Amino acid sequence: MQSLYDIPAPAKLNLFLHITGRRDDGYHLLQSVFMLIDWSDTLHFERRTDGQITREDLTAPLPQDDLCTRAARALQQATGCTEGVHIGVAKSVPAQAGMGGGSSDAASTLLALNRLWNCNLSLQALQRIGLSLGADVPFFLCGHHAWVEGIGEKITPMALPKANFLVVKPDAGLDTRMIFSDPTLKRDSEPAIISGFAANAFGNTFRNIFEYGRNDLQAVAQRLCPGVNQALTWLESQGLNGRMTGSGSAVFAHLPHGVLWDSANLSESFQVRQCSSLDVHPLVGWAHSDG
């Protein structure tokens, strides 16, 4: 029986996140730059011949119908594949953090099973399936840092400089729906353009790339989750300028080369990790492109 083991599912950081509007169906329109980092889950896949999809939680327990199993079922349904899989999930990326952990798991599942089951779907076909699972899934399938627009489906890969970050996740998470449904959420940011970001980010100093724009969700998150404020205050005590990533409770700061930090005065319930950006997604090239 052919098996695939130790498939990574890396997290992401939103260097900025602007909400530029809202569609009639309630979905918010955003602009953001997503950066892949080396904080990853690990997924194990073993082919089954009975068509069943089963999952084993190797670390933290997951909901019964998590994004890995949903992605596997979606690929089965899209291709008519009669094979199954046993998935082992070793979670490391925290939930409700805004780091895309579940979406990344779904993307790595689609890429792994597309190969394991010999489905041979193109990257674009997998992205269409991925979008039905979550707005961030197509980004993780694209394999590169990216400028992201729309509801997450408009993806422009881009090169970004190598960087290190300090990422802090408070014990409490944040429900994306709570933030996006909040009446005080800013939904009218002026649209930006990629060339404007590049000029602002790279035009003067390297540091500017991590100070461009803001996260429009942060004000709401700070009101809903005191831990976000505490994590930002701790980063400030380290001489670092922090901001929230995505729609969860994790915050991050660019960590310049040679700058040291310590965990003094940090709540024991918080997770803190020094991360590096990835050059590309570890599974880039696992699906062929239509173009």
Residues marked as catalytic? 12, 136
Task: Output the six-digit token pair for 149.
Answer: 């627009």
Residue 273 pairs with which residues in a beta bridge?
167
What distance in Å separates the CA atoms of residue 283 and residue 9, rounded to the nearest whole number? 9
Angstrom distance (rounded) from CA 180 to CA 110: 27
Measured distance CA(54)–CA(84) in Å, rounded: 8
Nearest to 32 by CA among 192, 180, 171: 192
Do strands 3-22 and 84-90 pair parallel, antiparallel, or not at all (unpaired)?
A: unpaired
CA atoms within 13 A on the CB side of 122: 6
Structure tokens at 216: 């429009």
* Burial bucket for residue 4 (CB in 10 Å: 0-12, 13-18, 19+): middle
